[in-house]
Structure 1
Amino acid sequence: MPWTAGQRLQGGKYVIDKVLGQGGFGITYKALHIELNQTIVIKTPNEYLSHDPEYDKYIERFIAEGRILARLSKDSHPHIVGVIDLFREGATHCLVMDFVEGENLFEAVRRRGALPEAEILPCICQIGEALIVVHQAGLVHRDAHPGNIMLRSNGRAVLIDFGIAKELVPKTLSSKGIAGNEGFAPYEQMSRGSREPTVDVYCLAATLYFAVTGQRPTTSLARKLDNASLKPPKLIDPRISHQLNQAILKGMALEAKDRPQSMQAWLAMLEAPKATPPPQIKPVYRIEVVRSETKPNSEVIPVKPVTQSPRIIPWGGLVGLLLSYLLIGYLFAAYNAPYIFWAGAWAGAWAWAVAWAVAGAVAGAVAGAGAGAVAWAGAVAWAVAWAVAWAVAGAGAVAWAVAWAVAGAVAGDELQKSFSKVNTFLILASTSSLGLGLGWLGHRIFNTGS
């Protein structure tokens, strides 16, 4: 008879809370560990099995596997329920395990329906990794159905309630009594108690089928005995990826030899291809293929990269236009005051020559300092030229000196390296406007004075 709520075990160390589940093989209780003040789970063999001729072998396997699980718990695995204790209460053997908060996969699908592939796939892979550890310890879970997979709120899945000793099917149990989760077990497990890793591969693949479709798969016995077909998951939900569909069908192959022979091999089928960075953009090469009637092979001649030519700005025309502004300003002034202007022009030319010589010297001295230093030197030299020209010659000389200075800047080797075409254009625009303006002003003054 099952234990009742409040019943104490091991001298009061454990207190029974309630029955979590009961099946043909055993009973699972929720209880409290008094010393640790921790909720735990106690699993026991079903007392009705005590009259079975194979009961002693069943208990031996229960104890042996419980000890192995306890050893596994020493190196705790995040996706395997921890085993705390193994004891005997009267004639009943008990396995104490951690209590896992959350809902099992059956409950999650019942509440939400089919789960998105991106959400459930990481959980299934976590359980698969846990089963690899179990297999390496020489065990097979044999019961990795949705009811034994707990989903925590943090997104982790935990494998619980190991199907201990299920290869020893008690004769007192009917076939119906052991087939509560037959939709998730391969037929060789139910017919002859197979204990191979391929059993867990089938169970977990069937569990994934249920999770992504919301439907139980066709049982393996119906497929084997009645030739029933297994409906591919993608036919139930077209959103399921082709890769996942194939992995499920391969893992649920009716014959064990047709499935992946290890959990690692099956998990590899579930792994999405790793994202690769897009290839770097390379210059487009035009390939010319020259074919000859006498040569059967083609000769491939690589040609320089074909690049689109940038839009060309008519700098020469713009410079000519702006210099013409200076000429117009000069003609305006020369027309009204030829003698004064020509004297100023000669003085301005002399000032320009001196300024250009200074600029060249400065530029040569700082050439090792980089283009920025050369640019500043040139700018200072032009400023000196403007000041001298203004003081010596007046408006007409300024126009003349600036015109030649700018022209020298465009043509000079060293200073031309220091300025871009845009810089040169802006200088020309400002100085030409100044020359044109001064020439027009001089024309107005002298014309009014006459």
Structure 2
Amino acid sequence: MDTTLTDPLVGKLLDGRYRVESRIARGGMATVYLALDIRLDRTVAVKVMHRSLAEDPAFVRRFIGEAKSVASLSHPNVVHVFDQGTDGDNVYLSMEYVPGRTLRDVLRARGRLPAREALEVMIPVLAALGAAHQSGLVHRDVKPENVLLADDGRVKVVDFGLARAIEATNQTRTGVMIGTIGYMSPEQVTAGATDARSDVYAAGIMLFELLTGRQPYEGETPMSVAYRHVHDTVPVPSAVLPGSPPLLDNLVAAATARDPANRPADATALLVAAVEAHRMLPRDSVPHPSVPIGAPHAHASAAPEPPAPVNHTLIQPRTDLLTGPAAGTGTPPPAAPRPRRSAGARWFLVGLAVVMVIAVGVTGWLFSQNTSIVVPATLVGKNITAATDEAEQRGFVVERGKPEHDEKAPKGTVLRTDPVAGTERDPGSRLVLIASAGPKRVAVPNVVGMSEPEARSRLAEVLITVDDVRKQASETVPRGQVMRTVPAVGNLVKENSRIDLVVSAGLLMPDVRGMPRDQADGVLRGAGFTPEFVEQTDSAQPCTVIAQDPLPKAEIDKGAVVRLTLSQCNGEWQWPWERDRQREGEQPGGEEGDNVVIIPNIVFKDFRAARDELRAAGVRVKMKRTLGRGRVVAQLPPGGQPVPPGTEVTIWY
């Protein structure tokens, strides 16, 4: 079934920012989606925790704290965390999208890896873990599922801190234990204690699996596997795969020591040992790939193949052509009859053979004197640590130059070499590797509270320009001050980027024209203004606002004086129909049974509910927006007034 059609999040806008495009993967704790960050216009991976975890307050608190810690970790081999948030029942992480496969996928497809390839995977993994350990972070769940191999060859570690967040829950998670027990250190199993050396242990188990194609303890119940981690010593790879290099046996044995005190102190220490092992590893140290795991080694049961015959024709002429039979060797065996050659012909052949011997010797000597080495083109684009190792193996003395920013080359990869690829140099020559510092980004400075000119000047200092200025009413921010930036303050953007400013418009003058004096006074004072009233003598409606200054929607400051012009307030207002009834000798308001309706009092009610209530009472409704807060602040005629059906009632909201 197409998951795109059945997953409720696909096609939705998560947290008002991430448009979910498709589902990438689903695991025991979370589902990963491909999404578009519409704010920054970039593709991201969004990991949404399963609802059973998201409903646990302890998990959510720990999850938010760990996400903040991991977001501060910047390393080319760590999947970068951009954002964390909640949207209803969804607790999510926004992360760097790395197209490729997990290391688990590679192991399923290929089985074990050759020794050099295994180390070339482990070195960037250990570099990522080492950077985390230096920052005080522990992964706690190192395994092939959490190692991503990008399509461009990069190695990335993911899910830092997630295991720690899950430890905060009170739920029983047997499935999680089954999935990770094969990599748990003895102290994790017995006491739940973890530190950098626990990650080192898991990395050692993973190296064992890369070399042998299997975990040291598998195919049993989770509890029995845990018991063996605590009580057994992890076997070295050569015990499972004869011929595995001793250097790697030593690495695995050191990393998986049962006592944490006997392991490398952190992943950086193990990284140094792994890089040294890679440098010393012979290129022919890979066991023969045709030997199946667990099968007897080929040379243990079969005689070695004889070496291929060497052709000496050009470097060792036949003895009988040079000297004939040696004395004391007896009569030579009868030979097949052959044409007789003259003495001149025989000496010609002897001379030719001697010349050929000399030519071969001189050629070999010349080749032996050509010891120059060539700068390889394969260094560019490779991780700086791996490139340094390769260049040193070829005979260069490597220096690392100052990293340079680049929009395309990932941080920590070789951007260029000096001298350039293809250049010949003598062994021991200096080779400078220039690493990429990644794309150059600047943080949006804090311009909140500044005026618009001040904000523009501050942004220009960091090579950011203003694209659009939007105004927004505010009761708390003085008019003309910057309320926020888009993207927000602190976000990283390219140099010469254009951002938007949101500037306070202060308070917007409400429209109180036509409103009774008392209600207009209450509305304006409640909004933070100081009303002043001036009466006029001629108006159709007494004591109502017929003009105002400033005009509606004008931008003004809190406490500003508002001048209102009123109709004359002397006397009592009578509606036209009441005056008609008085002229005919009837009492105002009519007699019992007259066809009138009583206007309901709808002040302070929701404007939609007020509108419906007035219509239900039999009057027409005219609505005027003033403060825009959704509640009715005034009405005319007032509530309780008897009026004929169909009378127009004005409400302000």
Normalised TM-score (structure 1)? 0.54
Query: Structure 1 residues 34 and 167, CA, compared in 2 at 3 Å: closer, same or farther?
Result: closer
Partner of residue 180, structure 1: 179
C-alpha deviation, 1:18, in angstroms? 1.0
Letter in 1 for 2:70: L
CA deviations over 1:192-231 (Å, ceiling 9, x no partner)? 4323001110111111111111112216613146x45533
CA distance in 2, matches of 1:3, 1:194: 38
Higher strand share: 2
Could you tell me which amino acid in structure 1 is paired with residue 9 of structure 2? T
1:217-366 → structure 2 map (5 Å cutoff): 217-218=216-217, 221-224=226-229, 227-228=231-232, 230-272=234-276
Q: 1:191 to 1:58 in 2, by over 3 A?
A: farther
CA distances 1:55-91 after superposition (whole Å, capped 9, x unpaired): 333222211121122222xxx4211111122222124
Match of 2:92 in 1: 94
Q: Give 1:11's match in structure 2, choosing from 3, 11, 16.
A: 16
Q: 1:111 to 1:198 in 2, by over 3 A?
A: same
Quick check: 1:124–1:208 contact (8 Å CA) kept in 2?
Answer: yes
Deviations along 1:244-274, one digit per CA (max 9) or x if unpaired, are 1111122112232232222122223323366
- 1:21 maps onto 2:19 in alignment: no
1:114 maps to what in 2? 112
Other structure's SS at 2:126 match: helix
Q: Which amino acid aligns with 1:142?
A: R
Q: How is 1:62-73 mapped onto 2 (pairs within 5 angstroms)?
A: 62-72=63-73
Counterpart of 2:149? Answer: 151
- Contact 2:187–2:194 (8 Å) recurs in 1: no
C-alpha distance in 2 between matches for 1:4 and 1:243: 49
Which residue of structure 1 aligns with residue 547 of structure 2? none
Structure 2: which amino acid aligns with 1:13? Y
**Structure 1 residues 224 and 202, CA gap change in structure 2 (3 angstroms):** closer
The Cα of 1:123 is off from its aligned counterpart by 2.1
Q: Which residue in 2 is equivalent to 1:417?
A: none
Residues 163 and 66 (structure 1), Cα distance of their counterparts in 2 relative to 1, 3 Å cut: closer
Conserved 8 A contact 2:54-2:89? no
Q: Which has the larger radius of gyration?
A: 1
CA distance in 2, matches of 1:47, 1:187: 31
* Structure 1 residues 190 and 62: alpha-carbon distance in aligned structure 2, compared to 1, 3 A threshold: farther
* Whole-angstrom distance in 2 between the partners of 1:190 and 1:28: 29
For the 8 Å contact 1:184–1:217, the answer to whether it is kept is no
- Identify the residue that residue 53 of structure 2 maps to in structure 1: 49
Partner in structure 2 of residue 126 of structure 1: 124
Which one has the bigger helix percentage? 1
Q: Indicate the larger mover: 190-199 or 89-98.
A: 190-199
Higher RCO by CA contacts (8 Å cutoff, separation 6 or greater): 1
Gaps of 5+ in 2: 1-5, 219-224, 281-653
167 and 136 in structure 1: CA distance in 2 versus 1, 3 angstrom threshold = farther
Bigger drift between 91-100 and 143-152 goes to: 91-100
Q: Which residue of 2 aligns with 1:201?
A: 200
Structure 2: which amino acid aligns with 1:122? E
Distance in 1, Cα, partners of 2:36 & 2:191: 38
Answer yes or no: is the 8 Å Cα contact 1:45–1:93 preserved in 2: yes
In the other structure, the counterpart of 1:213 is 212
Identical-pair percentage:
29
CA contact (8 A) 2:102 2:147 kept: yes
Residues 20 and 33, structure 2, Cα contact 8 Å, conserved in 1: no
* C-alpha displacement of 1:180: 0.7
Shift of 1:50: 5.1
Q: Which residue of 2 aligns with 1:408?
A: none
Could you say what secondary structure the match of 1:77 adopts?
coil
1:305-331 Cα offsets, whole Å, 9 max, x none, are xxxxxxxxxxxxxxxxxxxxxxxxxxx
TM norm structure 2: 0.38
Structure 1 distance, partners of 2:217, 2:140, is: 18
The answer on whether the counterparts of 1:142 and 1:200 sit within 8 Å (CA) in structure 2 is yes
Q: Distance in 1 between matches of 2:176 and 2:157?
A: 23
Number of the residue aligned with 2:462? none
Contact 1:20–1:30 at 8 Å: present in 2 too?
A: no
CA separation in 1, counterparts of 2:46 and 2:186? Answer: 29
Change (3 A) 1:71 1:272: closer
- 2:599 aligned partner: none
Report SS of the residue matched to 1:180.
helix
Give CA deviations for 1:261-292 in whole Å, capped at 9, x if unaligned: 221222233233667xxxxxxxxxxxxxxxxx
C-alpha distance in 1 between matches for 2:20 and 2:45: 11
Q: Residues 222 and 16 from structure 1, CA distance in 2 versus in 1: closer, same or farther, beyond 3 angstroms?
A: farther
Amino acid of the structure 2 residue aligned with 1:183: G
Q: In structure 1, what residue type is equivalent to 2:64?
A: I
CA-based RMSD of the aligned residues comes to: 2.6
Instruction: Give the aligned partner of residue 135 of structure 1.
Output: 133
Per mean C-alpha deviation after superposition, the further-off stretch among 3-12 and 81-90 is 3-12
Output the CA distance in 1 between the equivalents of 2:228 and 2:34: 37
Q: Distance in 2 between matches of 1:132 and 1:214?
A: 25
The whole-number CA distance in structure 2 between the counterparts of 1:110 and 1:45 is: 26
Provide closer, same or farther for how the CA distance between residues 229 and 263 of structure 1 changes in structure 2, counting only shifts above 3 A.
Answer: closer
Aligned to 1:168: 167
Q: Distance in 1 between matches of 2:134 and 2:182?
A: 26
Residue ranges of structure 1 left out of the alignment (5+ in a row):
276-450
Q: CA contact under 8 A between 2:33 and 2:46: conserved in structure 1?
A: yes
**Distance in 2 (alpha carbons) for counterparts of 1:145 and 1:34:** 33
Q: 1:50 to 1:40 in 2, by over 3 A?
A: closer
- 2:61 is matched with 60
Secondary structure class of the residue paired with 1:218: coil
**Aligned residues between the structures:** 267
1:12 to partner: Cα distance: 5.2
